[in-house]
Structures are given as C-alpha cells and as structure tokens.
Structure 1
C-alpha cells in the first residue's frame, strides 16, 4: 500500500493570516525539506499539496512548478476565486505552465463567507466550471455552511467534491450537532471527506477520546472509500506533531485502512497523472 497524505501545506512566514498571535508557533517558512523527515517517519510516500491562503494565482503557479520537480507531491489543489468570470481561462493557463498536469483540484477560501455562500449563482457557476474542467472542487467551510454544501453537491451531481477537515466541527458543541449538519452531505455520493484538521479544531489538550466520535461517525456515514487521511501539516503543529496526527488516526481506525490512507485519494484526485 502506498500511503498518501491528501492534505498538507507549504508557506512562507509573510502570509498575512499567520500574523494572528495564536499562530506564532507556525509563523515561519515551511518547505519540502521540513516535511520530508515527517513523511519518512510516518511511512508516507505521496502527498497532495493544498493552497495555503495566499489567495493569489502566483501561489498555484509556484506550487505546480514545485510539484513538477518533487517526486513526493502527486497533486496540487490550487487556489482560485470561484466567482471570478476568468476562472476557466485561469485554469487553462495553470495547466499550460510548468507542472500543469499536477493540478488536481481548486479551493477557494469559502469559510470566510456567509453560511449560504454556496447557494449563490456566481459560486455555483464556478463550481460547475471546475467540474467541467475535470478537477475536484475542494471545500474548506465552517460547520454552519454544511447545509449549503449538501445543496450544492445535490445540485451538481456531475461534480466531485472533497470536504476538508470534516467540515470543521465545533468540538466543544458536541458530536450530535455536527452529525446533524453533515449527514445530508454524506448522503451525496459525489462528496468525499478528509480526516484532517481535527486536532486543531479540538485545540490544546486534544485526546484520542475527544476525536474518536468524529472519526467513527465519519467512517459510518461516508465509508472508507469516501474518506481520506490528511495531516493538515504544518497547521497541526500548533497543537500536535505530524507523527501524532498519523498515530491517533491509526489508533482510532484500528490500523491504516488502504482506502483511507491512499486509495481514496488516488482515485478521487486521479493521481496517476503525476
């Protein structure tokens, strides 16, 4: 089995969002040289590099060029503004540039918008455009936005959606509230979810017991063929190491299910292109 980390980032210390005081522990440059020892320690062979909140096309171009010369990076989820009328042309330009074949998905920073953002015609048109380009629609949203995710997925059955961080549940609010919100999403067969970011949502003092109900509920609702492991490194380093994230998921799941730890990502992102 080839283990795939379906969600990690790289960035430089000058990213504006890193200025938040709570993020001081990760306010530095993170490169592939920093990541490689963690991959080796955890037995991870391939990765998916996800946009890191720069919200600029130049970041995607840089990540694609890096993927072209980095064996570990099997695919890139780049940033694009879904409401941009030039979206399709931008995707065409990215694909024509260095590493363009490694573009596997598009992610906008939807979590910063209102709860009904995915219901808006311009956003729906962007989601449809990404799908028409043969790419994954990657969704980073808040739990309150999950009803709109379900409506968008049902309204665009031809699209492939990947839900980051299980929809960012509010751990303090309890698993039942989150489950009510995500069940309609899980009912859409074109949505895959990532077991990622949970240690960060739980915060300092997270434990396996705290995370386990969310992981097990996701496994019940989505099944292993619609779940994928993601480290969310280096965001996770605010509260946990890369190795701790891998270990706690493996413990909760009773091992490393082949689908969750590689097979789902390879299929959904079509990683054979890289």
Structure 2
C-alpha cells in the first residue's frame, strides 16, 4: 500500500501510546505444519506463506507494542496447544484465543485439559469461524448454547468472527449469556470498500447495547480497498463503534499478518491512532491496552 493512512506521518507516533500498548489480535501459522485452507485465490496469495512470532516481534516492538493476543485461525484441535506453547516461550504473547468444538458435550473437560498444557495459563478466550457457517443463527443452536455456557464457566471470553448478517444472532447470544463477555472481532466486518453503513451500523449498535459486549478496532484496512484506502474511508466505521461501545469497551488489534495485504504493521497502528485522536488520554489508554488487559486478563 502506498500512503494509505492519508494523514499524519506514518510511524512517527508509535511511542505516543505509552509503554503498555497491547495488540489484541494477531495470528501466526506454519504451512509446513498445517494448511490454512481459507487462504485461497489471487487476492490472498501474498499471505500464502508461513508467518512466525519472529516475523512479528521486530515490527511490534518498533511500534511500541509490549503485549499481544494470539488468535486461532483454523478449526483444528491441534492448533490451540501449539499456540499455547508458543505463548509459553514468548515474552510478547500475553494471551491466546484458541478453538474448541463448542458442539461437543465435553467442552468443559477440553478447556480444563488445555489449561494443564504448557502455556495453558495463557488461554484467555475461545473463537470459532462463525463467518463460515451457512446457518446465520449457528450461535443459537442448543449444543452451541451449552458450549458457550462452558466457556463462561471457565472464565474465558468468546471472540466472534462474523459477517454483518450474523450480528443479530450475536446480539441474541449475548442476551442469553449475560455472564459471558463477547468480543466482536474486526467490528463485524463492515463493507468499508463499498462505503455502505447500513444495515451493519444498526446491527452493531444493537449488539453494543448489551453490556457484556466488547469490540476490536481491527480488520478495517482489509475490508477497505487494499490499494487506495485512507483514514477518511475508515472513519465512519470507527466512529460508529466508538460511539456504540465507548473507549472502555474497544480494543486495538492489528490483525497481522492478514493486514499486510493492505498496510504495514505501523500503518495499521497509525490509522487507529488517527481515528482516536479526539479521545482524551485515559480513553486512548483504554483502546490501546486497558480494555484488552481487563477483558483478557493479560
């Protein structure tokens, strides 16, 4: 991407967010260990390679990031133990959002077993690729309902990777499970490239009306035009979630390395900083660290 932030001096303000900057959403994967079957087509070809913590660490450190949350990418039970082991050997990864099959009756036992593994103390949340489920109300199935209750009982958060048409079910699930914190990844993937706000904006406001919901200020650059996006393109969507959730329920995430399709790591951070520049110091501290630490216990 060339000049994507559209304002300011990319990279110049990374240290302004202070010593406690948390990147609440990134991934790693090793294609020699496991295929990432979602990386298909020409548009995703640039990220069809392996990405490691060693690739991320220099960029994150240069941007002032002191802690990260590593998020699952595939619905494979072997992946979560691997991510936990990576966290155990890293001074950067503070938390892992893993995957378990919520539809199985032994979810509670599975979560307990994960916590006994090397790095198990880093397990902070669970996620499933709801965006790939053909049933828009998958979250409301009785077996999923039971699984979500087990996640809540384990003291974990539940990350939602969904498309806008899944948001009504997300709101219903959050209403059914007031004891569980639901974290909306990538703002529910609004159609930024098209410039449309509705029906996404109304749906995300309804979700935000539930007090047990949180949102990640992440994933915007890849929902925009990868080559020509500017901060002004992102602003209506960022303003919507800032107003709906408030800074105390919003957290920054880079979505690296998916974000590299549209921007360098520091450009993603700079865009988020520009989109929140009207907040006061305490509010910015929440978005860039406080909310993540509170929700994930990192």
- TM-score, normalized by the shorter chain, greater than 0.5: yes
Give the RMSD, CA atoms, in angstroms.
Answer: 1.3
In structure 2, C-alpha distance between the alignment counterparts of 1:206 and 1:104, rounded to whole Å? 33
The Cα of 1:89 is off from its aligned counterpart by 1.5
CA contact (8 A) 2:151 2:157 kept: yes
Alignment of 1:82 with 2:102, yes or no, is: yes
Partner residue in 1 for 2:14: none
1:134-167 per-residue CA deviation (whole Å, 9 max, x = no partner) reads 1101111111000000011011111111110011
Alignment of 1:267 with 2:294, yes or no, is: yes
Which residue, 23, 27, 30 being the options, matches 1:5? 23
Partner residue in 2 for 1:215: 238
**TM-score, length of structure 1 as denominator length:** 0.95
The Cα of 1:19 is off from its aligned counterpart by 3.3
Structure with higher RCO (Cα < 8 A, 6+ apart): 2
In structure 2, C-alpha distance between the alignment counterparts of 1:21 and 1:124, rounded to whole Å? 37
CA contact (8 A) 2:195 2:233 kept: no
Alignment of 1:233 with 2:233, yes or no, is: no
Which residue, 187, 190, 202 being the options, matches 1:180? 202
Partner residue in 2 for 1:249: 272
In structure 2, C-alpha distance between the alignment counterparts of 1:198 and 1:154, rounded to whole Å? 26
CA contact (8 A) 2:72 2:97 kept: yes
The Cα of 1:173 is off from its aligned counterpart by 5.5
- Runs of 4 or more, structure 1, over 6 Å off, are none
| Count of aligned pairs | 270
Matches within 5 A, 1:95-106: 95-106=115-126
Partner residue in 2 for 1:109: 129
Q: 1:203 to 1:80 in 2, by over 3 A?
A: farther
Partner residue in 2 for 1:144: 165
Instruction: Say which structure is richer in helix.
Output: 1
